[in-house]
Chain A
């Protein structure tokens, strides 16, 4: 027997923006409903609003991580191929002066990648490892307890100027000190939530107020009475969450 996974990404673009303007990214795309699997790498990224072509950059990063093309031991070298692909994609047509100038600065994005391995325990336990640049967060829940968060652990740690992965290698000089790594063990029944910043900040605020937000997260969209998008819109209306692209990637191990 190997581990069986249920995973699914839920997302909603920033209010006032079109779906095409959603600049978060996640991979794998298709949901998984309990299929046996030996190892899986899931990634979520958040392209920065303030740079151009950051949605493309975020999508290229999550795919690369998920396909095993980002070596946590040597991220900078792994990025060079992705950076070249990004440059080929965005340089296809002549651009107006402002787009050229913005392009020179490069695109920026967070990256959170999580890899779960079965480790030959027959599907009942295994290990996970994660890599993070920026403020896209992971929460690991066992039973009714939060057992780990990464790379941030409190709502006060978010700000509007995180260090991000750049498509221009000249802006990644601090990457060696800014990239963060974590690892742990999973057991059958555990859940992992990968969340972009606005949603993660809401999650941490809930925890800080003594709530258990995973009790909602494990049911959202599965329980027809808690559909994801109307729920996020309601949180926005109540100012409980900042208006930003929202992505929740939920992984349940069984």
Chain B
């Protein structure tokens, strides 16, 4: 059965983030509080990296269940970590954990266990800074991802299939990316094909926050529809985990979200028993 390979230090998997850094990412999201799309993207990826590190953290340190890369595309295409990881293509998750460019302190609302919410100061590490410059060479970026993963999967033929998380506002400037997305998804290990997640950041005023739809009917424009079509299907395990988080998903649910959170993807990776009451 596909997507059941053990993820362990002996058999790690790979996470590749593809991040749109084009000039259009400097536009604001619709809404009363102005926020640039590029800032939203940076927050999303830093949060995903933080969650990935925390999932792999044990008392003795961080276990290298994953190797991680961040490819930015805009004026240039290439590795986009900030700080001491700058220029690196794929790094072990323990190296990510120990090398944030800086650590911010943010305030988070948390459950007080008695039905209320309290403010809690949390550390928010930054590996990736907002950038918005140049065109949107999405096809070139997907081609870059393909060559990185081809090499990785060749070296790890029995690994849990690599996961690509592609975050974009969807307006490719180097052609229709459908074929390039298919080529990424066609890569496989003995446990299944690469999983391509598309996280669409949209400032279309008709865009409703959507997670893991099975149809493109309610999507606001052709960019969203194209990214929906290009995304993989969620695996059964991922659908089950989503179910535990209150989603009701059909077999056709896709690895696509529109202006929504993708942290669930990290939670859905099976690296051991996870308590249902884990907050």
Binding site for B on A (CB under 8 A): 16, 21, 46, 48-53, 56, 90, 96-102, 104-105, 108, 159-164, 166, 169-174, 178, 197, 243-244
Contact = CB atoms under 8 A, between A and B. Distances in A.
Interface stretch (B174-182, B252-260, B269-277): B269-277
Given A96-B97, A166-B278, 4 more contacts: A16-B10, A98-B53, A160-B273, A164-B275
A172 B278 CA distance: 9
26 contacts: A16-B9, A16-B10, A46-B273, A48-B273, A49-B273, A50-B273, A50-B274, A51-B275, A56-B59, A96-B98, A97-B100, A97-B125, A98-B62, A99-B57, A99-B59, A101-B54, A104-B120, A108-B275, A160-B273, A161-B241, A161-B244, A163-B277, A166-B275, A171-B277, A171-B278, A244-B272
Nearest to A242: B6
Contact of B279 (A49, A50, A164, A170): A170
A46 B275 CA distance: 11
Interface string B74-112: 000000000000000000000001101001000000011
A99 B240 CA distance: 28
Contacts of A174: 277
A50 B278 contact: yes
B242 to A, nearest CB: 12
A50 B6 contact: no
A133 to B, nearest CB: 10
B264 interface: no
B123 A100 contact: yes
A247 B62 CA distance: 25
B97 A162 contact: no
A187 B14 CA distance: 54
Contacts of A48: 272-275
B182 to A, nearest CB: 31
B8 interface: yes
Contact of A102 (B57, B98, B273, B274): B57
A170 B111 contact: yes
B57 to A, nearest CB: 4
A161 B8 CA distance: 18
Contacts of A100: 123
A105 B277 CA distance: 10
Interface string B58-73: 1100100000000000
Nearest to A108: B275
B272 A49 contact: yes
B55 interface: yes
Interface string B125-146: 1000000000000000000000
Contacts of A49: 271-273
B113 A169 contact: yes
Contacts of A105: 278-279
Q: How large is the interface on B (under 10, 10 to 19, 20 to 34, 35 or more residues)?
A: 35 or more
Identify which of B59, B103, B113 gathers the most chain A CB atoms within 10 Å of its CB.
B59
A98 B55 CA distance: 9
B59 A90 contact: yes
User: 9 nearest interchain CB pairs?
Assistant: A49-B272, A170-B113, A108-B275, A164-B275, A50-B274, A98-B57, A161-B276, A48-B273, A97-B123
B2 interface: no
B123 A101 contact: yes
A11 B277 CA distance: 27
Identify which of A48, A51, A162 gathers the most chain B CB atoms within 10 Å of its CB.
A51
Contacts of A166: 275, 277-278
B148 interface: no
B278 A108 contact: yes
A88 to B, nearest CB: 15
Interface in B26-63: 50, 53-55, 57-59, 62
A90 B57 CA distance: 14
Contact of A98 (B6, B54, B270, B277): B54
Given A105-B279, A170-B113, A243-B6, A52 B273 contact: no
Contacts of B273: 46, 48-50, 108, 160-162, 164, 197
A166 B277 CA distance: 8
A77 B67 CA distance: 42
B62 to A, nearest CB: 6
B254 to A, nearest CB: 23
B277 A102 contact: no
A166 B54 CA distance: 17
A236 to B, nearest CB: 11
Given A97-B125, A98-B97, A161-B244, A53 B276 contact: no
Contacts of A102: 54, 57
